[in-house]
Amino acid sequence: MDLFFVFIIASAHAELHSYTSTYTGVMGIPELPDFTAVTRVDKLEVHYYDSNINKRIPKKDWMMTDEFKDFWNDINAYHDEVYIQLKETFDTFKLKKSYSKTVHTYLWICLCEWDDETGQINRFNHVGFDGENLITLDSENKIYIFEMQKADNIAENWNNKTHLLEHSLKFIMDDCVIFLQRYLEYGRTTFNRKVPPKVSLLQKNSSSPVVCHATGFYPAKVNITWRKNGQEYREYVETGETLPNQDETFQKHVSLRVKREEWKRNQYSCVVQHKSLIKDIQKILTEDEIISNYKLNNSLPYPFMIGIIVGAIVIGLMCLIVLKIRKPGESSLELYFS
């Protein structure tokens, strides 16, 4: 059974903030650390840990301040407890005869979401082992639910360790949102930003889907829809995931698969809604609006194409000459940079 999430969809105007801790264990691959932990706030990484470096690395400058120090100690104490609990579970499963293979993995995801407008909180606490669902924390009944028949001894062990169960319940019911809100306060310069998206219509070739691509925006929540003659259009539309950029912004795309004749007879447009925008961005699908590889290639004049080919041949001949005249034991890089 695959791991999965269940989320409650927020209203278009609410801001849904999230705190996610992901703990990953790998045993049997020497090149990898046997334990890593990554924490993200509103999908931005705020600290990282692995068992090779054996310390937590803060990812934001404002986490280095004296004001943040006590909070940082609280975070470290919590993650130390989680590491001990997971290591005990992992070691127990390794020793079971039914898990005698050499490579094992586990994944613990602890997530809370907080709607800053309605106050609604969504919670998720789940452990997987070797790609299968293993443990779900039932916070209402205050018990761990074990989803693998072979996990009976683990179930008894975890539920009998009252302090560990209480620790997990306290975190998912109270501390997770407290941590989230404190991160949002300490890092307000980061999390309160509003960066508008840049929107383009992209197409690989004339028979490919037209992709409405929004990038460079923050916060991560964005709404991208296709419209046909002013009405929302969902047929032959595929929505991609929201992905992070290296500059702590996000990108997302929604593709439309319709024939060229169809969108020339009707008006198709991509509409992007984001918190940073006073007015929605609308891109009407026209020939001129599309950015495409095939259009770029076809627009290059014939003499220019010939020039590129000739230039490539000349560069190739020069490289051959350099190789011919270089001294024994001397690299071509040394010739260029000496």
How confident is the model over 232-241, as pLDDT tens digits? 999 999 999 9
Contact 75, 82 (CB under 8 A): no
How confident is the model over 293-308, as pLDDT tens digits? 765 555 445 454 445 4
pLDDT band for position 100 (50/70/90)? low
User: Which phi and psi (to 5°) does residue 214 adopt?
Assistant: -110, 135
**Of 45-49, 152-156, 239-243, 309-313, the least confident:** 309-313
Please, what are the domains in the chain? 16-191 (3.30.500.10), 198-295 (2.60.40.10)
What DSSP string runs through 103-131? Answer: -EEEEEEEEEEEETTT--EEEEEEEEETT
pLDDT band for position 163 (50/70/90)? confident
At 290 the pLDDT is 94
How confident is the model over 182-203, as pLDDT tens digits? 999 999 999 999 999 999 999 9
**Of 100-114, 129-143, 226-240, 319-333, the least confident:** 319-333
At 96 the pLDDT is 58
What DSSP string runs through 127-145? Answer: EEETTEEEEEEETTTTEEE
Residue listed under structure tokens 């001294």: 327
Q: Is 192 helix (H, G, I), strand (E, B) or coil?
A: coil
For residue 292, pLDDT beyond 70: yes
At 243 the pLDDT is 94
